[in-house]
Amino acid sequence: MTPHQDKRTGRVTLIGAGPGAADLITVRGARLLGEAQVVLHDALVSPEMLAWCPQAQLVEVGKRCGQRSTAQLFINRQIVDLATKYERVVRLKGGDPMLFGRADEELQALEAAGIEYEVVPGITAALAAASAIRKPLTKRGVSRSVAFATQAKAADAVDVEADVRADTIVYYMGRDQAANIAAQLIAHGKPASTPAWVVEAATTAKQRSHQFTLRQMAVGEAAAWMDPVQPSLLMIGEALADRATEAVEEAGPDGHHHERAA
């Protein structure tokens, strides 16, 4: 695992690690991880995922919501620098590299440096979370459009005007703005009775989920329930309502219906 000595640049592969479970990475992603000499990985990538590349030098490059993380410009420079020293470099990102993963900035840096690259997709958290709670994001006659969205951190910066047009909305990194998002969606016409799920750490051993209504989320019930450390998704829409064929779940001590383990 020594750097190559000539002036040629190596090849960089951006790989989607998927939502968390190590066996949900693609076959291609796992194969390329097993061939990598150096892997730059997100902080949320699990040790089980890194077991796919025991031969590689590991470089952690952020990022955790609300915590100090490696500046993106520095990450770009690291990737380019390592590609001048190693033949097989992997940038391992949680979820899918092309969705809320700042891939464009990293690809621009590689293109500007004349470095060859490949992108390997991964399962994005929204799709994994929908499977985890057994609720399709689309449903015939109910939902034919889905929006994946994020919100700015500033408390007064919530903007849902475009989001509200979608039948189902999934907010990434929306934990701190859950109440504001829900209140704005109601103000823009979403019924207050709309199902509003929170799914944390989808596909991992720490996975948990909870169903609210948009009204309950707007008054802070979801924020009070959420773990401030675990990655979470807000999933909102009528497609996420209980099916007629589902068994009725017992309400917990707080009066809400809690998802039972399968």
71-89 pLDDT per residue, tens: 899 999 999 999 999 999 9
* Catalytic-role residue among 6, 63, 96, 176: 63
What percentage of residues in the chain have a pLDDT greater than 70?
Answer: 85
**pLDDT class of 155 with cuts at 50, 70, 90:** low
**pLDDT class of 246 with cuts at 50, 70, 90:** confident
Alpha-helical (H) ranges within 146-200 are 178-187
Structure tokens at 187: 């103000």
**pLDDT class of 64 with cuts at 50, 70, 90:** low
63 is catalytic: yes
Residue ranges of E strands in the chain: 11-16, 38-41, 57-60, 88-93, 116-120, 146-149, 168-172, 195-200, 208-213, 232-236
Q: CA distances (Å), 13 to each of 46, 84, 233, 245, in order?
A: 19, 14, 27, 44
pTM equals 0.86
State mean pLDDT over 179-192: 97
Domains and CATH numbers, the chain: 11-123 (3.40.1010.10), 126-240 (3.30.950.10)
Least confident window among 1-5, 134-138, 178-182, 214-218: 1-5
242 is catalytic: no
Structure tokens at 231: 């990655």
**pLDDT class of 262 with cuts at 50, 70, 90:** very low
257 secondary structure, DSSP code:
B
* Rounded Cα gap, residues 175 and 227, in angstroms: 9
Range of 158-167, 208-217, 240-249 with top mean pLDDT: 208-217
* Rounded Cα gap, residues 17 and 45, in angstroms: 7
Q: Quote the crossing angle between the two packed helices 103-112 and 72-83, to the nearest 10°.
A: 40
Look at residue 258 and tell me whether its pLDDT is greater than 80. no
* Catalytic-role residue among 6, 7, 23, 42: 42
Position 69 scores a pLDDT of 55
